[in-house]
């Protein structure tokens, strides 16, 4: 995310993705092949052998590489460029509107997408499905439990169930460790988490995994009671007087400094006390096993006295 406009487009795509249904799949007339129901609710037929994978979401690309299948990724989206474990010579496609002709020509064994890609079209991947490509859709997850379920699905699809279970077990252990501390905190701090900077403030309320992580570490989201991803006014944040402000904005040079210097924000407790912190953008933006990294950063920023410097 290099520009404000890209952030807004992705935020809009996320909000659209949360309300959409199945975006892939296909039924086989042959009852013998292995079939799975993907997280979007569509039935997909699993190839006997998977040698090539296309991934149109950085969250899924990170999961595939963590499962040990990164060397099979022959195409990925622009937002995944630079991720560890991905080939530099692979085909790179637009995340929101991938070039279908190039995908058809590539004909991967498996295509993994979220419904952020081509979300405004009906059955956009039918040409690939007709060619026998296994197209599986993993919509943006709302909760930690959903994220873990998505990991299990991708692992099962790729024949890496044991590796998937290990990812989930490690994730659960880290979340449980941090949440155990969160349960002991009675004097809870209020938090505003900014994912798009002024003048286009964007954040989240209930029903988003980041809100769940805040609650698990013993904090209170100032937008709890609102629902999903949402635009926010400066007046709303200033009136809420958050104790701590977190941001994962990475498209301006100094996101925390920009917040600290905003006119009219000097008396917000978080700004007045210098409690404004940056949280890793990828870890806090992508619904996969790496959200535990964001959770720990959030915990240390909000409650250094409990979680250590």
Reported as type and span, the H/E element at residue 13 is helix 4-17
Assigned token pair, 279: 């949280």
Residue 32 pLDDT class (50, 70, 90 cuts): low
pLDDT value for 7? 44
Domains and CATH numbers, the chain: 20-140 (3.40.50.1980), 175-307 (3.40.50.1980)
pTM above 0.85, yes or no: yes
Residue 3 pLDDT class (50, 70, 90 cuts): very low
Residue 9 pLDDT class (50, 70, 90 cuts): very low
Residue 308 confidence (pLDDT) above 90: no
CA–CA dist 91, 147 (Å, integer): 27
Instruction: Tell me the average pLDDT of the chain.
Output: 90
pLDDT value for 2? 40
State pLDDT tens for residues 184-221: 999 999 999 999 999 999 999 999 999 999 999 999 99
State pLDDT tens for residues 212-257: 999 999 999 999 999 999 999 999 999 999 999 999 999 999 999 9
What does each C-alpha distance from 298 to 190, 271, 273 come to in angstroms?
Answer: 12, 17, 17
pLDDT value for 18? 38
Q: Rounded to the nearest 10 degrees, what angle do helices 161-182 and 58-66 cross at?
A: 110
Residue 56 confidence (pLDDT) above 80: yes
What does each C-alpha distance from 161 to 13, 72, 88 come to in angstroms?
Answer: 30, 17, 27
Q: To which residue do tokens 């900014």 refer?
A: 194
HSE, side-chain direction, 13 A CA sphere, residue 94:
10
CA–CA dist 79, 56 (Å, integer): 9
pLDDT value for 309? 59
- The mean pLDDT of 42-56, rounded to a whole number, is 96
- The mean pLDDT of 258-285, rounded to a whole number, is 97
How many C-beta atoms lie closer than 10 Å to residue 89's C-beta? Answer: 6
State pLDDT tens for residues 102-137: 999 999 999 999 988 876 677 889 999 999 999 999
């Amino acid at each position: 995310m290099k520009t404000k406009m890209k952030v807004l487009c992705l935020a809009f795509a996320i909000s659209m993705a949360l309300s959409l249904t199945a975006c892939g799949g296909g039924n086989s007339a042959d009852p013998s092949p292995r079939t799975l129901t993907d997280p979007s609710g569509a039935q997909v037929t699993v190839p006997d052998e998977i040698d090539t994978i296309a991934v149109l979401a950085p969250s899924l690309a990170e999961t595939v590489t963590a499962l040990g299948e990164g060397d099979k990724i022959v195409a990925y989206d622009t937002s995944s460029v630079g991720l560890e474990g991905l080939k530099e010579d692979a085909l790179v496609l637009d995340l929101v509107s991938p070039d279908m002709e190039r995908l058809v020509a590539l004909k991967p064994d498996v295509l993994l997408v979220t419904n952020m890609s081509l979300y405004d079209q009906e059955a956009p991947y039918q040409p690939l499905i007709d060619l026998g490509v296994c197209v599986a859709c993993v919509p943006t997850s709302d909760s930690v439990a959903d994220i873990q379920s998505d990991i299990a699905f991708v692992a099962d699809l790729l024949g890496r169930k044991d590796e998937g279970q290990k990812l989930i077990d490690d994730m659960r252990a880290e979340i449980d460790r941090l949440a155990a501390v969160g349960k002991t905190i009675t004097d809870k701090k209020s938090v505003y988490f900014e994912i798009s900077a002024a003048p286009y403030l964007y954040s989240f309320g209930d029903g988003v995994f980041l809100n769940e992580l805040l609650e698990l570490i013993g904090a209170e989201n100032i937008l709890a009671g609102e629902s999903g991803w949402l635009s926010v006014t400066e007046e709303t944040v200033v009136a809420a007087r958050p104790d701590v402000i977190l941001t994962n904005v990475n498209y301006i040079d100094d996101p925390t400094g920009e917040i600290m210097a905003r006119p009219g924000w000097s008396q917000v407790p978080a700004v007045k006390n210098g409690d404004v912190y940056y949280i890793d953008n990828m870890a806090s933006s992508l619904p996969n096993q790496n959200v535990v990294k964001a959770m720990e950063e959030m915990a240390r920023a909000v409650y250094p006295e409990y979680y250590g410097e």
